[in-house]
Amino acid sequence: MKKFIFSSITVLFLISTGSVMAEEISVGSVTPLTGKLAVYGEGFQQAMLLAADEINAAGGIKGNNLKIVFEDNNSTSKGSVSALRKLITIDKLPLIFGPASSSNFLAVCPIAQDNKTILLAAESAAAAITKCGSYVFRVFPSDLLQGVGVAELTSSLGYKEVVLTYVNNDWGVGLAEVFKAEFTASGGKIIDELPHGEGKTDYRSEILRMKRHNPKAIVNLTYIKEGATILKQAYETGLNVQWLMGSASKSPKLIDLAGKASEGVIGTYPTFSQETPQYKTFKAGWEKKYPGKKTPVFGEYNYDMVKLTALALESAASDSSDDIRAALIKVSQGYIGTTGDKSFDESGDVNASYGRWTIKDGSITDYK
Amino acid sequence: MTSYYAQLLVNGIIAGSIYAMFAVGLAMVYGVFKFINFSHGELITWGAYLTWMFSSSPFSLPVYISVVPALLITVGIGLAQDRFVYRPLRQSNPIAILIASIGLSYMLRNGIRLCWGSDLQTFDLPLSTGILLSGIYITKIQILMVLSALLFFSILYFLLTCTLLGKSLRAVSDNIELSAIMGINMTKVTWTIWVLASVFAGTGGILLALDTSLDPMMGMNSLIKAFAAVLLGGAGNVWGALIGGLFIGIAENISVAFISPDYKDFISYGLIFLLLLFKPRGFFGIAGGVR
């Protein structure tokens, strides 16, 4: 009896996988469905599934249904590595959507590159991802673009001389380099630049040095906690300047921590228009599939990633990863998705447009 | 430009007085029990977090009142450290005590994480510009820091020199066995040391948190500075700890004029390294003993 059950299960399994292979084109996704990023992971998954449903309803890819094989990574780098290895070696998928959070993504990108598997990111911003390799793409703008954004903001506000400070890690240093190159090229002058440590609670010495030059504006490329502490302690030491910041500090938490010291900060952030027909289609589709649910953080980017992938699979000469890669680059040129122009450049990055934010009366608003 | 250096000096004195508060407990424990208490830093953190807890909901006490229960509990933790970990190990290998204190430090630190999470917290104090005194900014909290250090060290001086308890404490640190034979109440002395260490550390932690913010690593980071201060002043030397603390605070802050501020911690680490190599007994040259 036992033997019978076992063999029937095996037969059923064979039939089911057989039928899957005939009608489906599968891609993988390493998604945080458990762990600390699970609150976001569910939204990513829903946005991806929405895109897949729309593709399949419109006839699928070359007549086959698109299927996304989700693997949980427990929100960790270790989990991401084993999830990706499974999708590459067991499921043998040529294209995989990478995990959220830059550190998790950076942990897996060399594996994908070595295995010639295409890896796409929808929410990882670290500049280092640009150098991951030729099989790695992202539909989310790199942090490096922010350096340019802040430089433009500084010049457009009429500040010719600024003090530059940045968080002393790969992200901050990279961002500062881009800012410097861009700002000095446009005729700006950096009076003094100094890194500040990540996660410190006392930045008074740093502030004192910034103050020494009596600057009118200080460009502060940092995170929320560090940003808030600096703003607060600068206020206490009577340093009264225009603070210019990036998008990593744009959070209500900054106002919670720094209080009135955060008033008047101006910054940039990557944005896209919610008035385009593409966005309206997404929004309508979302409300139909998930009535009453708010669109998730980065949901639009996940949606675009799946849509673009489907186009590439449709036009690829074969299902080999090299053909898909070539097709992906080709279809992306001039592709306008929910989040704007998704044309990949030679390093697999996209461009972005930047909005401006400011803090007024204790809340974040658009700077006009 | 003179105001720039004057401000650096003032910042140094402020930081130094807090380092001294942290160092004194470490020096006293070493003076009597002859071991480095790695979990000393956690008394700093617990003092700060407990005050923060009592001053936020559901207690919502004013900060100056929440200091009282917070310090009482911190002292309780200090005494419990001795009662449950260090006393049973007193006769054992010094390495065992050292490892136990490192373990205890991890336990207490993760206890903080468990209760309040790893995120940065701040006291919800109204933000105000510091007082401007001839070109130097100083906040009210910073004035309080220096005054508290002055007050605490004065009380300690009086206690050690003018009371019988203080004299017995010094006797015990000179020779623990002989003092016991002479009829000095060892329990009382032990308790005094842990109470003093906890109160100094806890108060320093509260002031530091009021001045900056709270995070579970604050004690550990301050402990390195306290180590440097103790090494400079000579292990077991209370007054050495005071001078050592001030020296490190000032040296670190003045260095900012020459090196990038982000690397100012380099001063205390460098000092620890050099002292251990060339002057392991500190500049006051006294090995052991609470003086």
| Chosen from B4, B207, B213 to mutate, greatest number of chain A CBs within 10 A | B213
| Cβ of residue A250 closer than 8 Å to a chain B Cβ | no
- ipTM value of the model? 0.78
| Cβ of residue B66 closer than 8 Å to a chain A Cβ | no
Specify which residues A90 forms β-bridges with. Answer: none
The SS3 of residue A316 is coil
Range of the domain at A235: 144-264
- Looking at chain A, which residue has its C-alpha nearest residue B213? A201
Q: State how far the Cα of B51 lies from the Cα of B65, in Å rounded to an integer.
A: 9
The reported pLDDT for the residue numbered A72 is 95
The reported pLDDT for the residue numbered A361 is 93
Q: Provide the domain count of chain A.
A: 2
How far does B157 lie from chain A, in Å, by closest CA? 30
Q: Are residues A133 and A280 in the same domain?
A: yes
| Residue A363: inside a domain | no
Average pLDDT, stretch A179-207? 91
> Which is it for the CA torsion B100, B105, B111, B114, positive or negative?
negative
Helix B265-278 / helix B218-233 crossing angle, nearest 10 deg: 40
Q: State how far the Cα of B193 lies from the Cα of B29, in Å rounded to an integer.
A: 7
| Residue A359: inside a domain | no
| Cβ of residue B57 closer than 8 Å to a chain A Cβ | no
Domain boundary among A238, A264, A290: A264
Average pLDDT, stretch A12-19? 48
Both structure tokens of B239: 């007054």
pLDDT grade for B279, boundaries at 50, 70 and 90: confident
| Residue A202: inside a domain | yes
Closest partner CB to B213 (pick from A195, A204, A229): A229
Cβ neighbours of residue B58 closer than 8 Å, sequence gap 6 or more: none
The reported pLDDT for the residue numbered A9 is 58
| Residue A364: inside a domain | no
The reported pLDDT for the residue numbered A82 is 96
| Cβ of residue A59 closer than 8 Å to a chain B Cβ | no
Diameter over CA atoms, chain B: 61
The reported pLDDT for the residue numbered B285 is 54
| Cβ of residue A208 closer than 8 Å to a chain B Cβ | yes
pLDDT grade for B288, boundaries at 50, 70 and 90: very low
Q: Are residues A171 and A237 in the same domain?
A: yes
pLDDT grade for A368, boundaries at 50, 70 and 90: confident
| B262–A196 C-beta distance less than 8 A | yes
**Closest alpha carbon to A196 in A180, A213, A176:** A176
Note whether B145 and B211 are within 8 A (CB): yes
> Is the per-residue pLDDT at A20 higher than 80?
no
| A208–B8 C-beta distance less than 8 A | yes
How far does A359 lie from chain B, in Å, by closest CA? 17
| B260–A195 C-beta distance less than 8 A | yes
Q: Provide the domain count of chain B.
A: 1
List chain B residues with CB under 8 Å of A203: 261
| Residue A51: inside a domain | yes
> Is the per-residue pLDDT at B10 higher than 90?
yes
The reported pLDDT for the residue numbered B1 is 65
How far does A194 lie from chain B, in Å, by closest CA? 7
> Is the per-residue pLDDT at B280 higher than 90?
no
| Residue B287: inside a domain | no
pLDDT, one tens digit per residue, over A85-119 is 999 999 999 999 999 888 899 999 999 999 999 99
Range of the domain at B199: 2-278
The reported pLDDT for the residue numbered A296 is 86
Q: Are residues A214 and A312 in the same domain?
A: no
Q: State how far the Cα of A218 lies from the Cα of A211, in Å rounded to an integer.
A: 10
**Closest alpha carbon to B145 in B231, B43, B22:** B22
**Closest alpha carbon to B241 in B75, B79, B17:** B17
> Is the per-residue pLDDT at B34 higher than 90?
no
A1-10, A85-94, B18-27: segment of lowest average pLDDT: A1-10
| A201–B213 C-beta distance less than 8 A | yes
> Is the per-residue pLDDT at A34 higher than 70?
yes
| Cβ of residue A170 closer than 8 Å to a chain B Cβ | no
pLDDT, one tens digit per residue, over B173-218 is 888 888 888 888 889 999 999 999 999 999 999 999 998 888 888 9
Q: State how far the Cα of A219 lies from the Cα of A232, in Å rounded to an integer.
A: 16
pLDDT grade for A324, boundaries at 50, 70 and 90: very high
| Chosen from A198, A202, A224 to mutate, greatest number of chain B CBs within 10 A | A202
Q: State how far the Cα of B247 lies from the Cα of B237, in Å rounded to an integer.
A: 15
**Closest alpha carbon to A168 in A207, A194, A203, A142:** A194
pLDDT, one tens digit per residue, over B97-123 is 999 999 999 999 999 989 998 777 888
How far does A263 lie from chain B, in Å, by closest CA? 12
| B127–A261 C-beta distance less than 8 A | yes
Domain boundary among A264, A287, A306: A264
Q: Which residue has the higher pLDDT, A179 or B2?
A: A179
pLDDT grade for A1, boundaries at 50, 70 and 90: low
Domain boundary among A242, A264, A286: A264
Average pLDDT, stretch A18-46? 81
Q: In which order are the strands placed within the sheet that holds A189-196?
A: A189-196, A161-167, A217-221, A242-245, A266-271, A353-360, A363-366
pLDDT grade for B284, boundaries at 50, 70 and 90: low
pLDDT grade for B268, boundaries at 50, 70 and 90: confident
Output the domain CATH number for residue A25.
3.40.50.2300
How far does A268 lie from chain B, in Å, by closest CA? 25
> Is the per-residue pLDDT at A15 higher than 70?
no
Average pLDDT, stretch A297-303? 91
Q: State how far the Cα of A344 lies from the Cα of A334, in Å rounded to an integer.
A: 9
Note whether A136 and A154 are within 8 A (CB): no
List chain A residues with CB under 8 Å of B213: 201, 229
Average pLDDT, stretch A174-178? 87
Length of chain A: 368
How far does B269 lie from chain A, in Å, by closest CA? 16
- Looking at chain B, which residue has its C-alpha nearest residue A199? B120
| Cβ of residue A195 closer than 8 Å to a chain B Cβ | yes
| Chosen from B8, B127, B220, B224 to mutate, greatest number of chain A CBs within 10 A | B127
Q: Are residues A134 and A226 in the same domain?
A: no
